[in-house]
Amino acid sequence: MPQADKHALPSHKPGSIEGTTLACSSPEARNNALQTAFDYRGDVTLELAQGKKVVGFVFRYDATPGVVHLYIPQGKDSVPQTLSAQEVTAVHFTGEDPAFGKSWDDWTTKAEKERVKEAERLAREAVARGEL
């Protein structure tokens, strides 16, 4: 299940927070928005107090000192950048979450179906050879 459910966010796609914007109107809202940005596996756009916007991937959020760590895409590389959480006025979930819909439960269900198919195939081959 996506981390969005953990933070009780509205979504534009069922189960995804892609396309959602969270305003940082209070310290609690800012903390929730930045923690959700950290949990999100896609790029976000952080709107800053002075009107600047920064697009990147939040790879770490330290609530106690109030620091956001981002990877900012630059060509084929990503450059780390650190921002003060106090500067953030809104978080826009602009990038696609590449891991959306790929939970452990989905993987185990698929793996079990493949295992059953393989067992059935092997049983058919054993019967055809006269071994069963």
- What pLDDT is stored for residue 3 in this prediction? 45
Does 2 score more than 60 pLDDT? no
Query: What's the rounded Cα separation, in Å, for the pair 37 and 58?
Result: 6
CB 44 within 8 A of CB 55: yes
Element (H, E) at 107: helix 104-129
Task: Read off the tokens for 60.
Answer: 């770490």
CATH of 3-98, one of 3.40.50.1980, 3.30.9.10, 3.40.50.261, 2.30.30.100: 2.30.30.100
pLDDT, mean of residues 68-97: 92
Does 10 score more than 70 pLDDT? no
Which position has the higher pLDDT, 96 or 118?
118
Q: What pLDDT, in 10s, does the model give residues 11-33? A: 445 567 888 899 999 999 999 99
